[in-house]
Amino acid sequence: MLIRRGDPIREAADLAGRRVAAIEASTNMALAETFAGARPVPFGAGSDDVYADMLAALLAGEVDAVVDDDVVFVPLGEQHPDFELAFVVRTGNRWGISVPPGQGDTLADLDAALGRIIADGRLRGAWETWLDGLEYPFA
């Protein structure tokens, strides 16, 4: 959960009565809807850059918090002067790479490459270099 730096939100209960932005019809919006008393605010319809829209709304005080994936918000919360990470909810949401139909060779190549860098430790090394605030998920 990303908030404006210095805001008092530290746990889900602090979201009661507050406006929580998330991408409409996403798993993150579904999560926002589980916070008791929070007022989910959908973003995305007609947007060219939904992340920029949500962050601008947060900075302007139009929303009080933004929920999105930790790989996006943990580094931002650590490095951006206007934002901070309030808390993280472990969801176990899966990630994927989309490949157009009929591109089975591309899918096989991606699967093989990911398998190699997971097996030989390169993915862990990159993760720990660039996402050091996040627990490595492929242990």
User: 76 with 8, same domain?
Assistant: yes
User: 130 with 81, same domain?
Assistant: no
pLDDT at 45: 80
- Is 90 contained in some domain? no
Amino acid at 126: A
Amino acid at 134: L
pLDDT at 50: 94
Closest CA to 89 of 25, 11, 37: 11
pLDDT in tens, 39-51: 999 999 889 999 9
Other Cβ atoms closer than 10 A to 44: 16
Sort residue 38 into left (φ over 0), alpha (ψ -120 to 50) or beta.
Answer: beta
Q: Name the 3-class secondary structure at 41.
A: strand
User: 17 with 64, same domain?
Assistant: yes
What is the total count of domains within the chain? 2
Amino acid at 103: Q
Q: Is residue 125's pLDDT more than 90?
A: yes
Q: Is residue 56's pLDDT more than 80?
A: yes
pTM reported for the whole predicted model: 0.77
The CATH number linked to 37 is 3.40.190.10
Closest CA to 56 of 29, 83, 31, 77: 83
Closest CA to 97 of 85, 82, 108: 108
User: 77 with 101, same domain?
Assistant: no
Comparing 95 with 1, which gets the higher pLDDT? 1
User: 7 with 73, same domain?
Assistant: yes
- Is 126 contained in some domain? yes
> Could you list the residue range(s) of the whole structural domain that residue 104 is in?
96-139
What is the rounded average pLDDT for all residues in the chain? 91
Amino acid at 42: P
Other Cβ atoms closer than 10 A to 48: 6
Q: Is residue 113's pLDDT more than 80?
A: yes
